[in-house]
Structure 1
Amino acid sequence: MNSIRIIGHAFRFVVIMAMQVLFMHSLVLFDTGFCFIYLAFLLFLPIQMPPVLLLLLAFVTGFSLDIFYDTGGIHAAATVLLAYLRPYILLLLTPRDGYDQNDSVNLHMMGWRWFLVYSFILIFLHHLTFFFLELAGIKLIGFTLLKIIVSTLFTGIVMIIIQLLFFARRRSSR
């Protein structure tokens, strides 16, 4: 990974975290749907990212939010699980020709079906972990499952909008 890409990912991290802390924290749909846009940083990283680096970035991302939201490690635990499962989901969704060395997760490059399956599986697993850790048990399981489903849809739709607005439409020749 060259230094320009590293700077780009660092800039993306700062922008996404600022959006999450400043705007998305108060954006809630009917006290049920929450938008965790910070997951976009982890989901949109290059496919060939080394697993240890991915886990470290996930921990830093989740821990940063835990500091701002005072959630006691719940974000860190859920994001580390997401980072741990990401390579397995990518392996499960590998195209027939495989991935290119420099591929990043991109709706325009990978296609709608691939992107929707990839993102919604990982977002759902993150939200499942997050909301059940927040609940600290299985009481109110019906409302918690509703929060998981609505929040997964809300976060997924916002990520699709981000992909459509800010990501390149065609493969770059770098």
Structure 2
Amino acid sequence: MSGLRFLLIQTLRFFLYAGVHVLLISRLVLFDLGWCFFYLGFLLFLPIATPIVVQLLLSFGMGLTMDIFYDTGGLHAAAAVLLGFLRPWVLRLLTPRDGYDSADTVNVHQMGWQWFSVYLLLLVLLHHAAFFLLELGSFRHIGLTLGKILGSALFTSLALLIVQLLFFPVRRGRN
């Protein structure tokens, strides 16, 4: 029964992140340099023990959903699948000395500020670099593209940090 509960929760999270992004967040732009890719929260905050194949399928599904809404021809899907592919590597890179518990989730309260900041910024920067470089298709306007990557990464990271602080539970059992 817990597998069914997990599937239901992840389905609800998928529609929540996609819906909030499409209906609300996608209209927020900072000086034509910063876009918030809020839907990445769904992929970044999956449970740590999620198998890689499931992560890749969910990444493709979320990216394809965004591509359908924004007519971006696979840009979101390609960048999201890259994020889904790199996430386990980054988690291994950031593994705490004692390792992860099977019930661990990506949570700023549980994992700590330093761990969470490195995890979030690294994966968001890699996603945004892939997305904006694929969108550009050349290196003609690389300065503007680097500005978009940095501005959007900061905007997205700040929005996802606020989501973590407001909506994810504080766990007192672990230091």
Shared fold, TM over 0.5: yes
What percent identity do the matched residue pairs reach? 55
SS across alignment from 1:104? coil
1:46 corresponds to which letter in structure 2? P
Give the CA deviation at 1:120: 0.5
1:70 corresponds to which letter in structure 2? D
Give the CA deviation at 1:5: 2.6
1:56 corresponds to which letter in structure 2? L
Question: What is the match of residue 138 of structure 1?
Answer: 139
* In structure 1, distance between residues paired with 2:172 and 2:46: 15
Q: How does 1:1-174 map to 2 (within 5 A)?
A: 2-170=3-171
1:71 corresponds to which letter in structure 2? T
- What is the TM-score with the length of structure 1 in the denominator? 0.96
Give the CA deviation at 1:8: 1.6
Which runs of 4 or more aligned residues in structure 1 lie more than 4 Å from their structure 2 counterparts after TM superposition? none
* In structure 1, distance between residues paired with 2:167 and 2:49: 21
Q: CA RMSD in A?
A: 1.1
- What is the TM-score with the length of structure 2 in the denominator? 0.96
* In structure 2, distance between residues paired with 1:166 and 1:11: 15
How far does the alpha carbon of each residue in 1:146-166 deviate from its partner, in whole angstroms, 9 at most, with x for none? 110010000000000000110
How far does the alpha carbon of each residue in 1:76-108 deviate from its partner, in whole angstroms, 9 at most, with x for none? 000000000000000000000000001110111
1:156 corresponds to which letter in structure 2? S
Structure 2 gap ranges (5+): none
* In structure 1, distance between residues paired with 2:4 and 2:26: 32
May I ask how many residue pairs the two structures share in their alignment? 172
